[in-house]
Structure 1
Amino acid sequence: MKFGRLTRFVKAGDGHAKKPRKRAQFDLRLRLMLVGGALGLGAVALVGRAVDLQLIDNAFYQQKADARFRREVPIPASRGMITDRNGEPLAISSPVESLWVNPQELSKHPDRLPELAKVTGLPLEELARAVSQRADKEFMYIPRHRRISPVAAKRVLDLGIPGVFSQREYRRFYPQGEAVSHVLGFTNIDDRGQEGVELAFDEWLAGKPGAQNVIRDRHGRIVEHVSLVRAAEPGKDLVLSIDRRIQFLAHRELRRALEETGASAGSIVVLDVATGEVLAMANLPTYNNNRVTGENRDAHRNRAVTDLLEPGSTMKPITVAAALEKGVITPSTTFNTNPGWIPNGRFKTSDFRNYGVLDTTGIITKSSNVGSSMIVRKLDDRYFYEFVRGFGYGRSTGSGFPGEAAGLFPDPSRWSGTSKQGMSYGYGLSVTPMQIAHAYATLGNHGRALPPTFVKGGAGEARQVVSPGVADEVVRMMQTVTEPGGTGTRAAILGYHVAGKSGTARKASGGSYARRYLAFFAGLVPVENPRFAMAVVIDDPDTSKGGSTYGGGYVSAPVFQRVMDGALRLMDVPPDDIDTWLAAQAANDAKRAREQGRSAKPAPAAAPAVPVPVAASSAPVAVAGVQR
Structure 2
Amino acid sequence: MRGERPSASSRYAPLAPPLKGGRFFFILLVILLASAILIGRVTLLQVIDRPFLQSQGDARTLRHEAIPAHRGMITDRNGEPLAISTPVVTLWANPQELPTDGIQLMMLAQALGMSLGDLEERIARYSTREFMYLRRQMTPEAAQRILDLRTPGVHSQQEYKRYYPAGEVVAQLLGVTNVDDIGQEGIELAYQPYLAGHPGQRRVIKDRRGRIVRELGTIRDAQPGGELTLAIDQRIQYMAYRELRAAVAENEADGGVLVMMDARTGEVLAMANYPSYNPNNRAGLDPRGLRNQALVDVFEPGSVMKPLAMSAILENEQFDRNTVVDTSPGWMRIDQFTIRDIRNYGRLSLAGILEKSSNIGMSRLTLQLDDTAIWERYNQLGFGQSPGTGFPGESTGSLNAPVRWSRSERAALSYGYGLSVSALQVASAYTAIANHGERLPPSLLRLPEPPMGIPAMQPAIADDLLDILEESVGPNSGGRRARVEGYRVAGKTGTVRKTGEGGYTADAYRSVFAGIAPVSDPRIVTVVMIDHPRAGQFYGGAVAAPVFSSVTGNALRLLDVPPDREVEDE
Match of 2:178 in 1: 188
TM-score between the two structures when normalised by the length of structure 1: 0.83
Match of 2:559 in 1: 571
The question of 1:486 aligning with 2:477 is answered: yes
Which segment is superposed worse, 304-313 or 408-417?
408-417
CA deviation profile, 1:108-154 (whole Å, cap 9, x unmatched): 65663332222112233332232223233222211xx2111111101
1:126 maps to 2:114: no
Query: Partner of 1:87: helix, strand, or coil?
Result: coil
For 1:421 and 1:331, how far apart are their aligned partners in 2? 20
SS at match of 1:440: helix
The one-character-per-residue Cα deviations of 1:184-228 (angstroms, maximum 9, x if unpaired) are: 111111101111111111111110011122221112111112232
Q: Structure 1 residue 66: deviation in Å? A: 3.1
Following the alignment from structure 1 to structure 2, what is the Cα–Cα distance between the partners of residues 110 and 381?
83
| Structure 1 residue corresponding to 2:96, chosen from 79, 99, 104 | 104
Q: Is contact 1:498–1:526 with CA below 8 Å preserved after alignment?
A: yes
SS in 1 for 2:53: helix
Q: 1:18 to 1:389 in 2, by over 3 A?
A: same
Distance across 2 between alignment mates of 1:572 and 1:47: 90
Alignment of 1:152-163 (within 5 A): 152-163=142-153
Amino acid at match of 1:174: Y
Tell me the CA shift for residue 298 of structure 1: 1.8
Any conservation in 2 of the 1:319–1:375 contact (CA below 8 Å)?
no
Q: 1:53 to 1:327 in 2, by over 3 A?
A: farther
Partner of 1:369: 359
Cα distance change, pair 403–328 in 1 and its aligned pair in 2 (3 A): farther
The 8 Å contact of residues 109 and 162 in structure 1, kept in 2 or not, is answered as no
User: What is the match of residue 593 of structure 1?
Assistant: none
Q: Are 1:469 and 2:460 counterparts?
A: yes
Give the 3 Å change call, closer, same or farther, for CA 332–161 of structure 1 in structure 2.
same
The 1:226–1:332 alpha-carbon spacing in structure 2 relative to 1, beyond 3 Å, is same
- Which residue matches 1:69? 61
Contact 1:364 1:481 in 2 (8 A): yes
Letter of the 1:552 counterpart:
G
Deviation at 1:383, TM superposition (A): 2.8
Does residue 526 in structure 1 map to residue 518 in structure 2? yes
Amino acid at match of 2:531: D
Q: Secondary structure at the match of 1:318?
A: helix
Who is 2:550 aligned against? 562
Structure 2 residue matching 1:418: 3-state secondary structure: helix
Q: Of 431, 435, 442, which residue of structure 1 is paired with 2:425?
A: 435
Does residue 542 of structure 1 match 2:534? yes
| Cross-structure match for 1:81 | 73
> Are 1:258 and 2:259 matched, yes or no?
no
In the superposition, relative to structure 1, how do residues 378 and 111 fare at CA in structure 2: closer, same or farther (>3 Å)? Answer: same
Cα deviation digits, residues 241-278 of structure 1 (max 9, x gap): 11011000000111111121111100000000111100
Moved more, 443-452 or 183-192: 443-452
**Counterpart position of 1:321:** 311
With normalisation by structure 2, the TM-score equals: 0.91
Residue in 2 aligned with 1:496?
487
Give the letter for the 2:482 counterpart: A
Matches within 5 A, 1:205-604: 205-293=195-283, 295-413=285-403, 415-457=405-447, 460-514=451-505, 515-542=507-534, 545=536, 549-577=537-565, 580-581=566-567, 583=568
Contact 2:99 2:151 in 1 (8 A): no
Matched, 1:165 2:165: no
Q: Distance in 1 between matches of 2:35 and 2:541?
A: 101
d(CA) in 2 for partners of 1:268 and 1:45?
87
Q: Could you tell me how far apart the structure 2 residues matched to 1:55 and 1:462 are? A: 74
Residue 291 of structure 1 deviates from its aligned partner by 1.5
Counterparts of 2:451 and 2:197, CA distance in 1: 27
Distance 1:180 1:45 in 2: 77
Where 2:315 maps in the other structure, the secondary structure is helix
**What is the CA RMSD across the aligned residues, in angstroms?**
2.4
The superposition leaves residues 27-86 of structure 1 with CA deviations (integer Å, 9 ceiling, x where unpaired) of xxxxxxxxxxx9999999988866653554223323332332222221100111111111
Separation (CA, whole Å) in 2 of partners of 1:18 and 1:329: 157
Cα deviations across residues 269-317 of structure 1 (Å, max 9, x unaligned)? 0000111100000010000011124742221011111111110100100
What is the Cα deviation at residue 366 of structure 1? Answer: 1.0
Q: Partner of 1:10 in structure 2?
A: none
Contact 1:537/1:556, CA 8 A, preserved across alignment = yes
- Shift of the alpha carbon at 1:229? 2.5
- The separation in 2 between residues aligned to 1:467 and 1:47, in whole angstroms, is 98
Q: Which has the larger radius of gyration?
A: 1
Partner of 1:5: none
User: Distance between the aligned counterparts of 1:50 and 1:570, measured in 2?
Assistant: 82
Distance 1:54 1:362, change over 3 A: farther
Distance 2:468 2:79 in 1: 38
Distance 1:125 1:378 in 2: 79
Structure 1 stretch displaced more, 310-319 or 339-348: 339-348
| 1:107–1:132 Cα contact (<8 Å) kept | no
- Quote the Cα distance in structure 1 between the aligned partners of 2:232 and 2:148: 44
Partner amino acid, structure 1, of 2:155: F
Partner Cα separation in structure 2 for residue 411 and residue 165 of structure 1: 63
CA distance in 2, matches of 1:294, 1:202: 26
> Quick one: which amino acid aligns to residue 559 of structure 2?
M
Q: CA deviation at 1:484?
A: 2.3
Structure-to-structure mapping, 1:111-150, within 5 angstroms: 112-142=104-134, 145-150=135-140
In structure 2, runs of 5+ residues without a counterpart are: 1-6, 17-29
Task: Say whether the 8 Å CA contact 1:107–1:131 is kept in structure 2.
Answer: no
Aligned CA distance change for structure 1 residues 110 and 216 (closer, same or farther; 3 Å): farther
Q: What letter is aligned with 2:532?
A: D
Give deviations 1:305-341, integer Å, cap 9, x for gaps. Answer: 1111110100100110011123341111110001111
Instruction: Tell me if the contact between 2:99 and 2:152 (Cα under 8 Å) persists in the aligned partners.
Output: no
| Contact 1:443-1:475 at 8 Å conserved across structures | yes
- Distance, in Å, in 1 between the alignment partners of 2:123 and 2:54 is 31
> Which shifted more, 293-302 or 192-201?
293-302
SS at match of 2:91: strand
CA contact (8 A) 2:258 2:271 kept: yes
Letter in 2 for 1:236: G
Distance 1:54 1:129, change over 3 A: farther
2:122 maps to amino acid:
A
Verify the 8 A CA contact 1:385 1:412 in the aligned structure 2: yes
In the other structure, the counterpart of 2:21 is: none
- List runs of 5+ in structure 1 lacking aligned partners: 1-16, 26-37, 585-618, 620-628
